[in-house]
Every structure is written in structure tokens, then in C-alpha cells.
């Protein structure tokens, strides 16, 4: 197997054709009006970060437009209630590099944003994201360095938005079962019984 391993960028690039001009040309150092529309319509994105304990990729979701475009170079993201592991936030404190991938249900293009992030306690920003009288503890500010859309091939191949192919969730492990797979004594039945109600009460 080691003899089949790719060990250099030159070796890798020799296997593939050069990127098309449009693949490179669509990358911008800041948002344009079309890219802003995608962010405004997106209710979900993932954020990748890096820190001393390794890499992390975390989902973020809310009503469409929850990511605030402060200006062409800056995004502001409320940190909604979660599990308090703080993996992404801890990473940002020690290494500001982040990568975001925005998705919109029913739309096959995705938007990729790379930049440098920091956490803020700016009350004027946090107040903007108050829901049910609950203000986020912090917000993530992303200073954009690169932004470009990703073509639709991956989503077309996966048929991600085709509801006829959506799986019955009951055929996969429940949240409680997943926890018990790591913690043998965990009461998965009790956890699952109250999960939906608990999540509804703790979204914000």
C-alpha cells in the first residue's frame, strides 16, 4: 500500500488536468451581491477550524439569513446554545483560520468562505440575535479572505434534496443509542423518550 501513496503535490497534480479558468476566476477576496444572496438564503452551514487537539467541523443552523453580512469582507455568526464542548470556539481562540460551507435546501450550488475569525462580546451585535429573550453568549466574526461557489456535482450525485430518496430515520440509531454505544451504562430509552421535548425547549 505504501508504494501507492501520493507523497507530493507535484505527483498529485500530474494525475489531474489543470483547473479550468472559471474554477480559479470565480474566487474573490470579498463578497459580491450574488454571494450575499446565497448567505441570506442559507439556513445551514458547516464551519471547519483547527487547534492543538486537531481539526473540527461543526454544523450551524437557524432561520435563513442568521449569518449577518456586516460588510463585503465581514460575517457575524451568533453562537447558539449547544453542548458546551466549545470545540470550534476554543480552536478560534488559538488559531483564527476557519472555512465555511453554506447549503440551501433545494439549491445545488454551495458557497465556500475561508478567512480569519475571532469571538466577540459586542453587545450591539449580540442583541441583534436575541430570540425568546435569550441572547447568545458570544458571536463569531469572520474576516473573509477567499469566497467562491462550489459547482453542483456533489449534490447532484448524492441527490441530497430529492425527498423521495430521504431515508426513514427510524432505520438508523437514535441519539440515545449512539450515546450508549460510547457509554455502556447510559439510559438510552429515557434519553430518547424526552429528547424531542427537551430540544424544543433548549433551541435558544
Task: Report the percent of the chain where pLDDT is more than 70.
Answer: 100
Read off the C-alpha cell for 142. 469572520
Please write the tens of the pLDDT for every residue from 55-101: 999 999 999 999 999 999 999 999 998 889 999 999 999 999 999 99
Distance CA 119, CA 88 (A): 11
Average pLDDT for residues 45-60, to the nearest whole number?
96
CA–CA separation, 187 and 176 (whole Å) = 7
Q: Which three cell numbers stand for residue 97?
A: 483560520
Residue identified by cell 459580491 is: 32
Q: Give the pLDDT band (50/70/90) at residue 14.
A: very high
The lowest-confidence range among 1-5, 172-176, 177-181 is 1-5
Which of 52, 68, 60 lies closest to 127, judged by CA? 68
* 74-78: strand order across its sheet: 54-61, 44-51, 97-104, 107-120, 139-150, 74-78, 68-71
Grouping H, G, I as helix, E, B as strand and the rest as coil, residue 20 is coil
pLDDT category at 16 given cuts 50, 70, 90 is very high
Average pLDDT for residues 119-126, to the nearest whole number?
94
Alpha helices in 21-152 (DSSP H): 21-25, 33-41, 87-94, 123-126
Taking 80 as the threshold, does the pLDDT of residue 1 lie above it?
A: no
pLDDT at 2 over 90: no
Task: Kindly state the average pLDDT of the residues 118-130.
Answer: 94
Amino acid at each position: 500500500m505504501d508504494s501507492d501513496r501520493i507523497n507530493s503535490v507535484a505527483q498529485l497534480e500530474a494525475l489531474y488536468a489543470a483547473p479550468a479558468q472559471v474554477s480559479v476566476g470565480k474566487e474573490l477576496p470579498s463578497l459580491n451581491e450574488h454571494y450575499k444572496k446565497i448567505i441570506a438564503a442559507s439556513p445551514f452551514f458547516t464551519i471547519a477550524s483547527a487547534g492543538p487537539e486537531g481539526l473540527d467541523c461543526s454544523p450551524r443552523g437557524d432561520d435563513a439569513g442568521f449569518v449577518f453580512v456586516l460588510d463585503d469582507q465581514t460575517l457575524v455568526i451568533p453562537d447558539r446554545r449547544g453542548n458546551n464542548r466549545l470545540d470550534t470556539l476554543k480552536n478560534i481562540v488559538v488559531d483564527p483560520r476557519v472555512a465555511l460551507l453554506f447549503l440551501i435546501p433545494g439549491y445545488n450550488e454551495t458557497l465556500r468562505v475561508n478567512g480569519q475569525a475571532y469571538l466577540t462580546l459586542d453587545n450591539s451585535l449580540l442583541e441583534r440575535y436575541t430570540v425568546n429573550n435569550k441572547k447568545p453568549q458570544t458571536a463569531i466574526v469572520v474576516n473573509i479572505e477567499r469566497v467562491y461557489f462550489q459547482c453542483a456535482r456533489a449534490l447532484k450525485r448524492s441527490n441530497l434534496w430529492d425527498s423521495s430518496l430521504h431515508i426513514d430515520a427510524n432505520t438508523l440509531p437514535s441519539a440515545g443509542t449512539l450515546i450508549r454505544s460510547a457509554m455502556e451504562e447510559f439510559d438510552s430509552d429515557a434519553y430518547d423518550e424526552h429528547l424531542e421535548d427537551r430540544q424544543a425547549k433548549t433551541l435558544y
